[in-house]
Structure 1
Amino acid sequence: MRGFLASSIGVTCAAALVLPLAPPAVAAPGAEAAAGRGTAAGPVVRRADAEAYVPGSTQSLPLAPLTRDRAAGAPAEQGLSRRDVDHFSLVGVVWDDPATELHGRVQVRTRAVGTGTWSGWQDVETHNSEHAADPDTPEGASPSVRGGTAPLWVGESDGVEVRVTAQPAEPRPEESESEPNGDDSAVTAAAITPLPDGLHLELVDPGDPAPVQGDPGSGTGGLNPGTSGAAGTGGIAVSADALAASAANAELTSLGAAEIPELGRIETERELLALRGSELTQEQRAKPYIGPRPRIVTRRGWGANESWRERRFAYTKKVKAAFVHHTATGSYWCKQSPSLIRGIYRYHVKSMRWRDIGYNFVIDRCGRIYEGRAGGVAKPVMGAHTLGFNSNSMGIAVLGNYGTRKPTVRAVKAIARLTAWKLGLYGANPRGKTYLRSGGGNLYRKGKNVRLNVISGHRDGYSTSCPGWQLYRKLGSARSSAARYQGR
């Protein structure tokens, strides 16, 4: 893998600019956010040690055996009985060794805040290891990284019950879109694969959008990182990490912007020449194939707390391909999308212990495009989305589960518009093929050159059901539309 790291500390020279005092409208939390909440990021909270509810925190609860007879070895079922907990909106289960798979079923029940109504049992997607950093990279080889399920969005809740049941290590469910409905009682103890060690239930409260330092109501502030603002500047103090994330997009929008506005074709072509003109051939200069830049909600726009992630940005060489994913996070309202993304971000960083959210971009069912991993939306940021193929690619995740549910027309259109622009920056044809070198996975050995669609589904690089059959079957339409947006 060829990549490089860039420090995010040197951007503090941008302190001469000013952030707007009012929080951006796009970052407003959904209806699930209670008025008057605090905004502390908070550490991972062990329930036994928690004395008060901290918005924007994680409750990490160790699971206990639910089966009485443990003579045969490790318990075949672990979980937690129904109980009261602090507010949360997203759940997942993690364990110690990321190389260990959970062969079994994870189900949760939750109690909604306000109504006090308990949900039925909901399945949590257990096969999530293929959404990860490449092996042998600093992020993938970190000893702190943990294994985990996909996160599940349940809405604001204050009660939970969970059960994790071991099952035989049968062929992975990726080979079929149907859900198992056999009789679990028919499984013999000898066929059961032990559950992973160190199982914990993670209850994530996304919290409110991350604050900036200083008092917006005072009418004063500055951009000196970590300090109070200077009177009369009309701005507010922010951290160096927030400055770095925003400054990574300085060529596209103003510092502290909640969104990167869309551009027309002519403006986009001019931007291409400004960003990558020295790398273009004479033919590309004369006829650039690139789609108009779409509107993109920045990390500040969806309320990322930049203190959670690692400070340094990681880059690859170029973007030759896009891998499309679904998050398998369940149902949501579009107004909840910023909260849901903050929840996934916190789960990836605080529970899975990755350097940042894994995806480069996120798209919701209303077709809104969100910046994912920090480092600049026009740059080749190294993600953690497609195990073995994170180099020279980008990962686009559509919020939701699309195994049986069809994606919206707006979401598919957003995939096409985003890929037409981003792939166009690097001269890639959305209808074409490209070669990527595998970093190792369950379909291709490490080092193998693999021929892939420039717009591929996750399942093209790894044996998985992602991005769900209903979304996967729409990728042909997305390729054609993206090529048309590029003028091909």
Structure 2
Amino acid sequence: MRSKKLGTTLFVALLVPLLLALPRVSAQPELQPVTPQLTTLPLTGVDQTAYLALDSGSVGAAANRRPAVLTPTLRTKPFQLLGVTWADPEPRPDLAVSFRARVNGTWSDWQPLESGAADGPDPGSPDLPDGTPQARAVRGGTAPFYVGPADGVQVRVEQVGTPSRPLPRDLRLELIDPGASPADDDGNASDDGNAPDNEADATDDDAGTSPPEDDANAPPANDDPRTPDPDVSPTDAPPADAAVTAAQPRIHSRRAWGADESIRRCCVRYLDTIKVAFVHHTATSNGYSRSQVPKILRAIYAYHVKSRGWSDIGYNFLVDRFGRIWEGRAGGITKPVQGAHTGGFNSADSFGIAAIGTYQNRAPSSQLTQAIQRLIAWKLGLHFRNPEGSAVLVSAGGSTTKYKRGTRVTFHAIAGHLDAGRTGCPGRKLYARLPVIQAGVRQLMGAALWNPSVSASYLAPGGRLEIRAGVLTEQNWEVKIHRDSPDNAPVRTFSGRATPDRGTRAIRAVWDGRLEDGHPAPSGTYWITIDSWGGDRSARPYVAKIQVP
């Protein structure tokens, strides 16, 4: 009996260290949609007790004029984000809106809300009910502000400028509780964003989607009229292991931040291509934690949809101060989805990136700017754009842009919201970083092609086709003509060495409709491909289809 007991003791003594050495496996919190809760309160009149306290300075804000609206200190349901909206959808920069909130039992200082925001849908947008710009279901509003868990608020509205306009109709305070999800604190939502560039947290229907062909008629930026040296020498094939430039960065999906797809309405509209990246800031607070970001996204989503009346969150992508990129508007991260971020130019082949925070007086973190660089490099690369070039967009008009409907406006390929609208967005400090972002995008894009084109989609008898493209770095190139499929062996090949100083003529080949042996090409469908590479990096190939009669 003694020996049996001793044997059992020895077995347990040996087993315990082994069990302790095994890796601990914790259950992965399930990603589930979270429905934000909205509380609306009417804003009317001036509370006299609050006004006297304001005059005495006891609330910490000097009153240099009588406010048009001043609430008492209100005890409310729990909320984390707030904004003020009104019936008319146009921005009201003549309103000075401020608030203070009760957070963890303590009243904050007075904080301003941006009331002249120039974001929102274009006239005729699917964001508008029935697609009509007259629809009043879309409301004007301030930028939202994330305060964290709060249960009290006080709001003050002043009219600035002379003469003062009437107050907008139906002023409302919007309080949003984004709810909570176990996944908010999970690694999927709070990792450091340093996944490999080819790893993307995207939904399955986003994967493998090809972007539309580039618009060959887009006005070329920085085109150099000089023709290339015709005495180019043949080049070697690109290295088999050459990396395609500006691969897709890691992008956290809508599911990762708990988007409730049931509150999204209407439809997704796709653009023809992407020509311009508009950079924004959300004009919300800067001191958020990693785990608060999904809550901020859910709250902004609810504010745009439930409070402002849009069909979805306005931005295509959002980037936090930790360098993580988040999917915004639904429709597919690889696709040119029309957003509601830059009034007048949402429908004009652009996409919007919002930096979470306010960057008027505070510089963005290096992680944030580098994430914007990765995102823009990938997105412009999908559509063969020169990050240092420009594009002409046509304004759709509306009250949120400074350009009348039909105005042709030239924008840098990487522009700030204030370039298009009556706004200070993306803030003075972030706007000043756009040249640095542009330089970083160019470096990431490396051997990329820009504005590739074929002069026609039909080769007339005795005619010629001109194939052109610009490059960002010196590199080798090949233009190949394939019959029936781009996967077939080429029937004609051109090659050369391209330099950036030749504009869209850096790569230039002219096909006279003849095969390699000099015979005329038989009638049928042909595919033209452009491949280029420099060092160990290769450009994303360009492919175009033509007909030979």
Q: With the length of structure 1 as denominator, give the TM-score of the two structures.
A: 0.68
**Cα distance in structure 2, aligned partners of 1:121 and 1:154:** 12
The structural deviation recorded for 1:137 is 2.5
Name whichever of 202-211 and 159-168 sits farther off: 202-211
**Residue type of the partner of 2:113?**
V
Query: Does structure 1 retain, via aligned residues, the 8 Å contact 2:212–2:272?
Result: no
The structural deviation recorded for 1:424 is 0.7
Q: Report the counterpart of residue 94 of structure 2 in structure 1.
A: 103
Q: Report the counterpart of residue 6 of structure 1 in structure 2.
A: none
Cα distance change, pair 101–431 in 1 and its aligned pair in 2 (3 A) = same
The answer as to 2:382 corresponding to 1:394 is no
Query: Does structure 2 retain, via aligned residues, the 8 Å contact 1:440–1:446?
Result: yes
Query: Does structure 1 retain, via aligned residues, the 8 Å contact 2:47–2:72?
Result: no
Find the partner of 2:295 among 327, 330, 339: 339
Mapping 1:302-381, distance limit 5 Å: 302-310=257-265, 312-331=267-286, 332-381=288-337
Name whichever of 132-141 and 118-127 sits farther off: 132-141
Query: Does structure 1 retain, via aligned residues, the 8 Å contact 2:34–2:259?
Result: no
Q: Report the counterpart of residue 168 of structure 1 in structure 2.
A: 161
Find the partner of 1:276 among 203, 206, 210: 210
The answer as to 2:11 corresponding to 1:23 is no
**Cα distance in structure 1, aligned partners of 2:419 and 2:285:** 23
Query: Does structure 2 retain, via aligned residues, the 8 Å contact 1:360–1:372?
Result: yes
Q: Report the counterpart of residue 174 of structure 1 in structure 2.
A: none
Q: Report the counterpart of residue 121 of structure 1 in structure 2.
A: 110
**Cα distance in structure 1, aligned partners of 2:177 and 2:340:** 22
**Cα distance in structure 2, aligned partners of 1:273 and 1:76:** 53
**Cα distance in structure 2, aligned partners of 1:426 and 1:273:** 17
Cα distance change, pair 210–57 in 1 and its aligned pair in 2 (3 A) = farther
**Cα distance in structure 2, aligned partners of 1:277 and 1:457:** 24
**Residue type of the partner of 1:314?**
R
Deviation string, structure 1 residues 161-208 (Cα, Å, up to 9, x no partner): 111112225xxxxxxxxxxxxxxxxxxxxx322211100101110112
Find the partner of 2:177 among 196, 205, 214: 205
The structural deviation recorded for 1:308 is 1.0
The structural deviation recorded for 1:133 is 0.8
> Secondary structure in 2 aligned to 1:421?
helix
**Cα distance in structure 1, aligned partners of 2:144 and 2:112:** 11
The answer as to 2:425 corresponding to 1:466 is yes
The answer as to 2:167 corresponding to 1:195 is yes
Mapping 1:294-305, distance limit 5 Å: 294-305=249-260
| RMSD between superposed Cα atoms in Å | 3.0
> Secondary structure in 2 aligned to 1:86?
strand
Q: Report the counterpart of residue 136 of structure 1 in structure 2.
A: 124
**Residue type of the partner of 1:370?**
W
Q: Report the counterpart of residue 239 of structure 1 in structure 2.
A: none
> Secondary structure in 2 aligned to 1:344?
helix
> Secondary structure in 2 aligned to 1:307?
helix
**Cα distance in structure 2, aligned partners of 1:302 and 1:85:** 25
The structural deviation recorded for 1:470 is 0.4
**Cα distance in structure 1, aligned partners of 2:207 and 2:309:** 38
Cα distance change, pair 347–475 in 1 and its aligned pair in 2 (3 A) = same
> Secondary structure in 2 aligned to 1:422?
helix
**Residue type of the partner of 1:132?**
G
Find the partner of 1:475 among 428, 434, 438: 434
**Residue type of the partner of 1:133?**
P
Cα distance change, pair 382–261 in 1 and its aligned pair in 2 (3 A) = farther
**Cα distance in structure 2, aligned partners of 1:132 and 1:61:** 23
Deviation string, structure 1 residues 357-415 (Cα, Å, up to 9, x no partner): 00000000111000000000000111000001112110000011111100001111011
Cα distance change, pair 280–199 in 1 and its aligned pair in 2 (3 A) = closer
The structural deviation recorded for 1:263 is 3.8
Query: Does structure 1 retain, via aligned residues, the 8 Å contact 2:213–2:383?
Result: no
Find the partner of 1:64 among 44, 49, 55: 44
Q: Report the counterpart of residue 78 of structure 1 in structure 2.
A: 69
The structural deviation recorded for 1:301 is 0.6
Find the partner of 1:424 among 372, 381, 384: 381
**Residue type of the partner of 1:195?**
L
Q: Report the counterpart of residue 85 of structure 2 in structure 1.
A: 94
**Residue type of the partner of 1:435?**
V
The structural deviation recorded for 1:316 is 1.4
**Residue type of the partner of 1:66?**
V
Query: Does structure 1 retain, via aligned residues, the 8 Å contact 2:99–2:112?
Result: yes
Q: Report the counterpart of residue 52 of structure 1 in structure 2.
A: none
Query: Does structure 2 retain, via aligned residues, the 8 Å contact 1:204–1:346?
Result: yes
Find the partner of 2:407 among 448, 454, 464: 448
**Cα distance in structure 1, aligned partners of 2:212 and 2:412:** 27
The structural deviation recorded for 1:443 is 2.8
Deviation string, structure 1 residues 408-461 (Cα, Å, up to 9, x no partner): 011110111000001111111111111111111543221122111111000111
> Secondary structure in 2 aligned to 1:109?
strand
**Cα distance in structure 2, aligned partners of 1:304 and 1:273:** 19
> Secondary structure in 1 aligned to 2:259?
coil
**Cα distance in structure 2, aligned partners of 1:288 and 1:388:** 38
Query: Does structure 2 retain, via aligned residues, the 8 Å contact 1:98–1:145?
Result: yes
Cα distance change, pair 446–407 in 1 and its aligned pair in 2 (3 A) = same
Q: With the length of structure 2 as denominator, give the TM-score of the two structures.
A: 0.61
**Cα distance in structure 1, aligned partners of 2:429 and 2:437:** 13
Q: Report the counterpart of residue 434 of structure 1 in structure 2.
A: 391
**Cα distance in structure 2, aligned partners of 1:447 and 1:353:** 26
The structural deviation recorded for 1:289 is 7.3
The structural deviation recorded for 1:79 is 3.2
> Secondary structure in 2 aligned to 1:64?
coil
The structural deviation recorded for 1:463 is 2.6
Find the partner of 2:140 among 147, 151, 154: 147
**Residue type of the partner of 1:424?**
G
Name whichever of 432-441 and 409-418 sits farther off: 432-441
> Secondary structure in 2 aligned to 1:357?
coil
Query: Does structure 1 retain, via aligned residues, the 8 Å contact 2:312–2:330?
Result: yes
Query: Does structure 1 retain, via aligned residues, the 8 Å contact 2:278–2:414?
Result: yes
Cα distance change, pair 117–457 in 1 and its aligned pair in 2 (3 A) = same
**Residue type of the partner of 1:448?**
T
**Cα distance in structure 2, aligned partners of 1:40 and 1:125:** 27
Mapping 1:279-294, distance limit 5 Å: 279=213, 290-294=245-249
Query: Does structure 2 retain, via aligned residues, the 8 Å contact 1:90–1:151?
Result: yes
**Residue type of the partner of 2:246?**
G
Q: Report the counterpart of residue 54 of structure 2 in structure 1.
A: none
The structural deviation recorded for 1:347 is 0.3
Larger Rg: 2
Q: Report the counterpart of residue 227 of structure 1 in structure 2.
A: none
